[in-house]
Amino acid sequence: MTAKPLVAVTGASSGIGEATARAFSAAGHPVLLMARRIDRLEAMRLPNSICRQVDVRDRAVLTAAVREAESKFGPVDMMFANAGVARLGDIGKQDPADWDEMIAINVNGVMNSVHAVMSGMMARRHGTLVMMSSIAGRKVYPDHTVYCGTKYFVHGVSDSLREYLSEYDVRVIVISPGIIETEVLDGVKDPVTLANYKANKAVIGGGIGADHVADLILDAYNLPQNALVQEICITPTRQKY
């Protein structure tokens, strides 16, 4: 056991997930790092950490990783349901397999992450769920159709969970970033969509660092349990939409 409670992060191998894991580790928390690319997790070499190869679509594997970490470090006090993919593209031409993958990871994966820790948080009357959405969960964009749908889901289910879990003193925070310097473009196969995204990003001077998002998550988490930042929406200053 450690003095500070355990934090679990899905999609911890890069981007906002990695930055958040590093921020909480630097703040003295033990961390459970979960992602498909375990080599990247292990390369981080964070103290008091457990690295597990987890595909968030597999509820049993995700839950097993959580239970293993809890047996060593105590209950998960924060779950960052961060893992997600952005298969952006022209909806009229896009392969439906891309839709399936986004729904399975961005929707089912989020709910699997919640399921692994929610009952324990309710029983302890303490805990924080951090749900990765996007500014694309607040407004729609060209070539983002199904991606936007998955992020609107995160907003909707988070609002419902927040109301339900408030009776148990469990907090639900939604993260809605704009353009951040991450690997999100790696999943874009449509050349026109990719070119348009890169052009827009260049116009606004590029994205902002994932560490800015991580610092905000840590600050929101560190508030007293009876104080809740319901949503963090952060974008580059020049991002107009």
What would the mean pLDDT of 137-163 be, rounded to a whole number? Answer: 96
Q: What average pLDDT does the segment 149-159 reach?
A: 98
pLDDT tens for each residue of 5-58: 999 999 999 999 999 999 999 999 999 999 999 999 999 999 999 999 999 999
The overall pTM is greater than 0.85 = yes
How much is the average pLDDT of 154-166? 98
Inter-residue contact 50 to 44 (CB < 8 Å): no
What integer best gives the mean pLDDT of the chain? 95
Look at residues 28, 62, 15, 31 and name the one whose alpha carbon lies nearest to residue 211.
Answer: 15
Angle at which helices 59-73 and 109-124 cross, to 10°: 40
CA distances 171 to 12, 70, 117, 136, 162, Å, are 21, 20, 13, 22, 7
Q: What's the rounded Cα separation, in Å, for the pair 51 and 45?
A: 9
Residue 184's pLDDT band (cuts 50, 70, 90): confident
Report the C-alpha gap between 57 and 61 in whole angstroms.
Answer: 9
90 Cβ neighbours under 8 A, 6+ residues apart:
143, 190, 192, 193
The tokens for 1 are: 């056991």
1 pLDDT higher than 60: no
Q: What is the pLDDT of residues 45-59, one digit of tens each?
A: 999 999 999 999 999
Q: Are strands 76-81 and 231-234 parallel, antiparallel or unpaired?
A: unpaired
Q: Which of 147, 152, 168, 197 is flagged as catalytic?
A: 147
147 has catalytic annotation: yes
pLDDT at 185 over 80: no
